[in-house]
Amino acid sequence: MDWLPTLWFVVIALLWCGYLFLEGFDLGVGMLIGLGRSTEKRKRLLLNTIGPVWDGNEVWLLTAGGATFAAFPHWYASLFSALYIPLTIVLVALIFRAVAIEYRGKAITAATRKAWDLALGLGSLVAAFGVGAMLALTTLGLPLNENGDRIGGAFAWLNWHAILGGVAVVAFCWIHALAFLRLKTDGAVRHEAGKLVGRWLPVAILPLVAWALLVLLDNDSGIAWAVMGLAVIALAASMISGRAGREGVSFIALGVTLLAGVAAIFTAAYPVVLPSTIDPAFDLTVANASSTAYTLKLMSIVAAFGVPMVLAYQAWSYWVFRKRLREEHIPDTHRVVSIIK
């Protein structure tokens, strides 16, 4: 049963891929609403492209966290405690973001609506940055002692790896959101998003490539380089199809770029799940960080049933809401009036 921890390493990598792919565009849409300049009608158009699906997308993060806890308790414990301050900030960002999505339309005054927009925009930005920083650090290393505990104080995690990972995910979310809006809307938004994607796509992917190269150069893995090659091909495909106006193909190809990029990073890092920058002997690996074969077997059975189910009904929900939205589709805001005299 030696392959069980490896299987779960793959599952967790896939969960992160799913999270970045799906929540990637809704984090980006959040940033565009909250931090960009749009009319109220346009903001609501953007928000409603992710309205029915964003919460389901976010569960990928919870599942990645929960699965790490179950399958690699040491990885979960060391990573999450080492990143205490940044994860606190990510939590705050996710709280504000979630509440803002649901409550912004219920605001009465322009000032409160503006506050919710800011919460949504900053919340999305900070959450994307924090998740990126966390993933970069788990692939590039943290100062961990023998027990897997962070040493060096509250900010020992802060280095340019963290910033690179953060920027990589933020930039990806932004461009992914534009590609998504190009696919999901009609009218001016579609047109403008298309122009932006055409211009910025290669630049926006650059930090992600830099992070991947760092991990790949650090570890000798032929497979990882092959997967990375796939990412580059997908990126080219996304650019070409985007220029040709094939918005669906371009969006999917961009998604494949991300999936292959993240897969290359995890493949290169394997079998280390969290390197220690203090001493390679303290590295957490799939072998020393994992749960027992019994637990992994149980989880495998559950996942074999659960993951396909999730994919099926989430795909169905995207199918139900497949129509492009236009500004004319957005009904007027309904203002709640007290009926109490």
Partner 1 sequence: MDALEIARWQFGITTVYHFLMVPLTIGLGLTVATLQTMWHRTGNEHWLRMTKFWGKLFLINFIMGVATGIVQEFQFGMAWSEYSRYVGDVFGAPLAMEALLAFFVESTFLGLWIFGWKKLPKRVHLATIWCASLATILSAYFILVANSWMQHPVGTKLVDGRAVMTDAWAVFTNNTALVTFPHTIFGAFAVAGGFLLGISWFHLYRRRKEGIDTVDANGYVVVGEDPNRGKNRDKTDYQVWIKSLRIGASVAMVAFLGVALSGHEQAKLMFEQQPMKMAAAEAACHDGTGFSVLSLGDITAQGATNCDNVVAVFEIPGILSYLANGDFTTEIKGVNTLIPEYQEKYGKYYPSDESFGQYAGQEINYLPVMEVTYWGFRLMITLGGLSALAAGVALWITRKGTVPESKWLSRLAVLGIAAPFGANATGWIFTEMGRQPFTVAPNPQMGGVDQVFMYTAASVSPTVTAGEMLFSLISLTAIYGVLLVVELVLLTRYIRGGVASAMPELEAADHSSSGGPKGPDNDDDDVLAFAY
Q: Contacts with partner 1 in 68-127 (CB under 8 A)?
A: 69-74, 76-81, 83-85, 87-88, 91-92, 94-96, 98-99, 101-106
Contacts to partner 1 from residues 7-46, by CB under 8 A: 44
Name the residue nearer to partner 1 (CB basis): 85 or 226.
85
Query: Is 92 or 196 the residue whose CB approaches partner 1 more closely?
Result: 92
The answer to whether 325 contacts partner 1 (rule: CB under 8 A) is yes
- Closest-CA residue to 160 (of 210, 88, 85): 210
Q: How far is the CB of 79 from partner 1 (least distance, A)?
A: 7
Residue number, 217 or 281, with CB nearest to partner 1 = 281
Residue 196 burial class via C-beta count within 10 angstroms: exposed 0-12, middle 13-18, buried 19 and up: middle
72 versus 211: smaller Cβ distance to partner 1:
72
What number of chain residues touch partner 1 (CB under 8 A)?
A: 85
Q: Does the footprint of partner 1 cover residue 322 (CB under 8 A)?
A: no
Is the four-CA dihedral 26, 32, 34, 39 of positive or negative sign? negative
Query: Does residue 1 interact with partner 1 by CB under 8 A?
Result: no
Q: Residues 116, 100: contact at Cβ < 8 Å? A: yes
CA 293 to chain centre: 29
Residue entry with tokens 């072998």: 287
Report the nearest approach of partner 1 to the CB of residue 26 (Å): 11
Q: What's the min distance (Å) between Cβ of 60 and partner 1?
A: 8
HEC secondary structure over 147-213: CCCECCCCCCCCCHHHHHHHHHHHHHHHHHHHHHHHHHECCHHHHHHHHHHHHHHHHHHHHHHHHHH
Residue with smaller CB distance to partner 1, 10 or 233: 10
What token pair was written down for 45?
């158009």
If binding is defined by CB under 8 A, does position 310 make contact with partner 1?
yes
Residues found in the chain: 341
Nearest to 201 by CA among 224, 178, 228, 170: 178
334 binding partner 1? (CB under 8 A):
yes
Which residue of 10, 36, 55, 118 would you call a contact of partner 1, by CB under 8 A?
55
Provide DSSP, 243-301.
Answer: HTT-HHHHHHHHHHHHHHHHHHHHHHHTTEEE-BSS-GGG-EETTTS---HHHHHHHHH
Return the residues of window 224-263 that contact partner 1 according to CB under 8 A.
none
Pairing state between β 284-285 and 272-274: antiparallel
Residues contacting residue 193 through CB under 8 Å, at least 6 positions apart: 178, 179, 181, 182, 185
Residue type, 86: P
Element (H, E) at 90: helix 84-103
Choose which of 3, 40, 66, 206 interacts with partner 1 (CB under 8 A).
66
Distance CA 259, CA 250 (A): 14
Q: Looking at beta carbons only, is 8 or 174 nearer to partner 1?
A: 8
Residues 270-299 that bind partner 1 (CB under 8 A): 291-292, 294-295, 298-299
Residue 281 or 337 with smaller CB distance to partner 1:
337
CB of 235 to partner 1, least distance (A): 30
Shortest separation between residue 268's beta carbon and partner 1, angstroms: 24
Please list every residue from 146 through 205 that binds partner 1, using CB under 8 A: 147-151, 153-154
Distance of CA 6 to the CA centre of its chain: 22
Our finding on whether 304 is near partner 1 (CB under 8 A) is no
| Residue from 63, 185, 257, 276 binding partner 1 (CB under 8 A) | 63
Give Cα separations from 10 to 49, 164, 250, 270 (angstroms). Answer: 31, 24, 26, 10
**221/314 with CB nearer partner 1:** 314
* Stretch binding partner 1 (CB under 8 A), from 170-178, 238-246, 252-260, 321-329: 321-329
In the complex, minimum distance from the CB of residue 228 to partner 1, in angstroms, rounded to a whole number: 29
